[in-house]
């Protein structure tokens, strides 16, 4: 890297454009700007498992609330997926395919509308409930990633609907309503998979906060030099991810990267760091990432369930019912907000913040 390269000026100019990565693509860049180039040792880790047996579990939720025998089998599959993978896909989850498709289209509409309209939402102000930004950690991260993001807080204090973009307002409201109902079922299944009462995690208010984050990954002219999303874990209890059919999401499993191949109509479920903490390592939070791609755009919508706005008095630690002399607590208690703050400080090197809370 030559000494004349002024990275800070490049970052400021990019941020001031408020046009994001899509703005670069629209301008016809044939080579990616230097601020997006990742260190070679990070990119060398891109090798993907060739083991055809390694497949992300797909769990069919058909009959989960109407057939006790089927429910028990589903709980076994959820337990297995959370213990071994930390990620799984679900089908027959109750959200209509038309709603999923319209949600993807809504996010595309937002990102592909007139840039001047989109710029009105561009901000790095963390207090804003609705925001569009490219690389939330742009000025902290060693290298930028090839995506733009639109996010909004859904619960507990949703934004005024008039503050949301007209092109996707209705579908965000509808999709969020349905994903909250689905999360209700998922938190029951995960609680039962831990051997607890079905309402245990809900009674702990694990599902009290919903933060919706959508990513728009434009086609990249040099995908081998950058990333769509860096390696990370989620600082949540559960994440429900809707992805389109482009692909690029990968999970780290047994020291190998495994593709999370898109399945039409499916949703991807991630167990987050806070679930690993309260389960005392019974369930694991999986490292995952998104590759940059010649194909694009890729669109994804993550629904992050974590009680990030509960009062500081609400502490989370290993669940007492799971502990014993043979299984003592491995973590100290923390609030969801403090955990999130710690996670943001750690995220640049791809490690989870859980080690800070180890006893």
Stretch 265-283: mean pLDDT? 98
d(CA 204, CA 190): 13
Q: Judge whether 316 lies within some domain.
A: yes
Q: Judge whether 3 lies within some domain.
A: no
Angle at 144 between CA 138 and CA 145, to 5 degrees: 120
Domain boundaries, position 254: 8-357
Q: Judge whether 1 lies within some domain.
A: no
- For residue 44, what pLDDT is reported? 65
d(CA 212, CA 241): 10
Stretch 212-223: mean pLDDT? 98
Q: Judge whether 154 lies within some domain.
A: yes
Q: Which two tokens stand for residue 207?
A: 């599902």
The pTM assigned to this predicted structure is 0.95
Q: Judge whether 171 lies within some domain.
A: yes
Q: Judge whether 66 lies within some domain.
A: yes
- pLDDT grade, residue 87 (50/70/90)? very high
CATH number, domain of 138, equals: 2.60.120.330
Q: Judge whether 2 lies within some domain.
A: no
Given a cut of 80, whether residue 272 has pLDDT beyond it is yes
For the ranges 15-19, 101-105, 328-332, 352-356, the lowest mean pLDDT is seen at 352-356
For residue 46, which of 200, 314, 316, 227 has the smallest C-alpha distance?
227
Interval 111-169: pLDDT, tens: 999 999 999 999 999 889 999 999 999 999 999 999 999 999 999 989 999 999 999 99
- pLDDT grade, residue 35 (50/70/90)? very high
Q: Judge whether 334 lies within some domain.
A: yes
Total of domains in the chain? 1
């Amino acid at each position: 890297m030559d000494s004349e390269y002024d990275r800070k000026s490049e970052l400021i100019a990019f941020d001031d454009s408020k046009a994001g990565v899509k703005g670069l693509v629209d301008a016809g860049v044939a080579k990616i700007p230097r601020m997006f180039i990742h260190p070679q040792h990070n990119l060398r880790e891109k090798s993907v498992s060739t083991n055809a047996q390694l497949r992300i579990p797909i769990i069919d939720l058909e009959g989960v609330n109407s057939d006790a025998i089927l429910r028990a089998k589903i709980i076994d599959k959820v337990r297995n997926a959370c213990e071994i993978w930390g990620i799984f896909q679900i089908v027959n989850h109750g959200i209509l395919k038309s709603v999923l498709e319209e949600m993807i289209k809504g996010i595309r509409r937002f990102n592909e509308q007139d840039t001047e309209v989109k710029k009105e939402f561009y901000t790095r102000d963390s207090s804003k409930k609705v925001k569009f930004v490219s690389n939330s950690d742009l000025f902290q991260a060693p290298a930028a990633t090839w995506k733009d993001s639109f996010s909004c807080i859904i619960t507990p204090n949703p934004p005024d609907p008039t503050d949301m973009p007209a092109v996707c307002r209705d579908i965000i409201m509808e999709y969020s309503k349905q994903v909250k109902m689905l999360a209700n079922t998922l938190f029951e299944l995960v609680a039962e998979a831990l051997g607890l009462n079905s309402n245990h995690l809900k009674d702990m208010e694990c599902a009290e906060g919903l933060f919706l984050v959508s990513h728009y990954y434009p086609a990249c002219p040099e995908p081998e030099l950058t990333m769509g999303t860096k390696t990370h874990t989620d600082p949540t209890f559960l994440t429900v991810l809707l992805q389109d059919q482009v692909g690029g999401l990968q999970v780290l499993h047994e020291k190998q990267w495994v593709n999370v191949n898109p399945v039409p109509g499916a949703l991807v479920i991630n167990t987050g760091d806070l679930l690993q903490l309260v389960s005392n390592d019974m369930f694991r939070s999986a490292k995952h990432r998104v590759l940059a791609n010649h194909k694009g755009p890729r669109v994804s919508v993550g629904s992050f369930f974590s009680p990030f706005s509960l009062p500081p008095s609400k502490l989370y630690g290993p669940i007492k019912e799971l502990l014993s002399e043979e299984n003592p607590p491995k973590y100290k208690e923390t609030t969801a907000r403090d955990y999130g703050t710690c996670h943001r400080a750690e995220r640049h090197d791809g490690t989870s913040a859980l080690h800070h809370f180890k006893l």
